[in-house]
């Protein structure tokens, strides 16, 4: 039976370090980490996610502001707001909740955020730093960053020579995950929907990361015995066994099958999910520390 990687416990540990780091920074330099969250429109899932981010920021002792804008906000007005936040010395992290309404160019908005406040890690400067191995000065997207932390908690800091397969090639998870594993001296393969004999390739992985967005696509017989499996997927499927109209959350990995083979595995829910907001808080503290020329905590 595989070790269950408890994302909530790891996230709690990160948040405890963030709280201590924020308190220490405020005491030593008078700088209070500040985060601004911008949401456009009334998407229910985005509303819930933004509320949880704001709540966690306040719990960490941050200065937290939220800008909730109507669905029909003009793109130029959103750009102007981001530029105002760029110039605000009390704000160290700017997060624009995606997706934006169809009439707004997501890319233009993201690239308007200055790289040093881009705590989501989506600006081309931060992407370029990650790709070229400058991980110490880059902001890395929070989900792969959190996934990497969980991998290190299981396997240690020396991942040299391990084979890693990342199933999924998105800019938000798959590609940055692959570059983080490369920076840790893994031998990395990025797989996707057009990869030939994907199950056979997956079975070569000491570290298998599933980030493809298909419920339970990765089966137990895709997993190398003893592998560390990171399931980034979160999919809602029908659950008639719970009653009419009921649903449940599953990952991209068939958990019960994979758990019988893997050495360690993240569950869904309770695995990667909690790490995303924890790493957002960690990135915001890092930005504040850099602005005060103080070394940020290590996690």
The pLDDT-based confidence of 158 (bands split at 50, 70, 90) is: very high
Determine phi and psi for 220, rounding to 5 degrees. Answer: -60, -35
Kindly report, residue by residue over 271-292, the tens digit of the pLDDT: 999 999 999 999 999 999 999 9
Average pLDDT over residues 212-219: 96
The pLDDT-based confidence of 45 (bands split at 50, 70, 90) is: confident
Kindly report, residue by residue over 171-209, the tens digit of the pLDDT: 999 999 999 999 999 999 999 989 999 999 999 999 999
How would you label 260-277 residue by residue, b for 16+ Cβ within 10 Å and e otherwise?
ebbbbbbbbebbbbbbbb
Average pLDDT over residues 235-262: 91
Q: Which member of 97, 117, 175, 224 is catalytic?
A: 97
Q: Which member of 53, 129, 175, 224 is catalytic?
A: 53
72 is catalytic: no
Q: Where are the alpha helices (DSSP H) in the chain?
A: 7-29, 44-59, 75-87, 106-112, 124-131, 142-155, 174-183, 198-202, 255-259, 273-291
Query: Cβ contacts of residue 80 below 8 Å, gap of 6+?
Result: none
**pLDDT greater than 90 at residue 108:** yes
Kindly report, residue by residue over 222-231, the tens digit of the pLDDT: 999 999 999 9
**pLDDT greater than 90 at residue 258:** yes
Kindly report, residue by residue over 82-104, the tens digit of the pLDDT: 999 999 999 999 999 998 999 99
Q: Which member of 118, 120, 231, 252 is catalytic?
A: 120
pLDDT at 22: 98
**pLDDT greater than 90 at residue 1:** no
Domains of the chain: 28-122 (3.40.50.10860), 142-274 (3.40.50.720)
**pLDDT greater than 90 at residue 241:** no
pLDDT at 50: 86
136 is catalytic: no
**pLDDT greater than 90 at residue 61:** yes
> Percentage of the chain with pLDDT > 90?
88
CB 167 within 8 A of CB 196: no
Kindly report, residue by residue over 125-155, the tens digit of the pLDDT: 999 999 999 988 999 999 999 999 999 999 9
pLDDT at 49: 83
pLDDT at 199: 97
Query: Cβ contacts of residue 200 below 8 Å, gap of 6+?
Result: none
Query: Cβ contacts of residue 182 below 8 Å, gap of 6+?
Result: 133, 188
With CA atoms as reference, report the closest residue to 180 among 294, 286, 34, 279. 279
**pLDDT greater than 90 at residue 240:** no
Average pLDDT over residues 37-65: 91
175 is catalytic: no
CB 36 within 8 A of CB 94: yes
Handedness of CA 9, 13, 19, 20 (dihedral sign): positive
Q: What is the pLDDT of the chain when averaged over all its residues?
A: 95
């Amino acid at each position: 039976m595989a070790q269950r990687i408890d994302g909530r416990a790891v996230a709690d540990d990160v948040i405890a370090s963030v709280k201590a780091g924020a308190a220490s920074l405020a005491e030593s330099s008078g700088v209070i980490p500040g985060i601004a969250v911008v949401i456009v429109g009334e998407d229910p899932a985005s509303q819930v996610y933004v509320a949880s981010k704001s709540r966690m920021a306040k719990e960490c002792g941050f200065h937290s502001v939220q800008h909730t804008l109507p669905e029909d906000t003009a793109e130029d007005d959103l750009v102007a707001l981001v530029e105002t936040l760029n110039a605000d010395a009390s704000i160290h992290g700017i997060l624009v909740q995606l997706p934006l309404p169809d009439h707004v160019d997501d890319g233009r908005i993201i690239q308007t955020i200055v790289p040093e406040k881009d705590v989501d890690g989506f600006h081309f400067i931060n992407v370029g730093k990650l790709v070229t191995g400058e991980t110490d000065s880059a902001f890395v997207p929070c989900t792969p960053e959190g996934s990497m932390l969980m991998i290190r908690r299981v396997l240690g800091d020396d991942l040299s020579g391990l084979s890693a397969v990342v199933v999924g090639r998105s800019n938000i998870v798959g590609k940055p995950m692959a570059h983080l594993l490369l920076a840790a001296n893994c031998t990395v393969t990025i797989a996707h929907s057009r990869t030939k004999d994907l199950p056979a390739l997956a079975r070569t992985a000491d570290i298998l990361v599933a980030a493809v967005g298909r419920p339970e696509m990765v089966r137990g017989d895709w997993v190398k015995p003893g592998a560390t499996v990171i399931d980034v997927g979160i999919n809602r499927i029908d659950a008639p066994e719970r009653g009419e109209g009921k649903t449940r959350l599953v990952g991209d990995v068939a958990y019960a099958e994979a758990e019988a083979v893997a050495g360690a595995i993240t569950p869904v829910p309770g695995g990667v999910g909690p790490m995303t907001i924890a790493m957002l808080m960690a990135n915001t503290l890092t930005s504040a520390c850099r602005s005060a020329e103080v070394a940020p905590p290590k996690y």
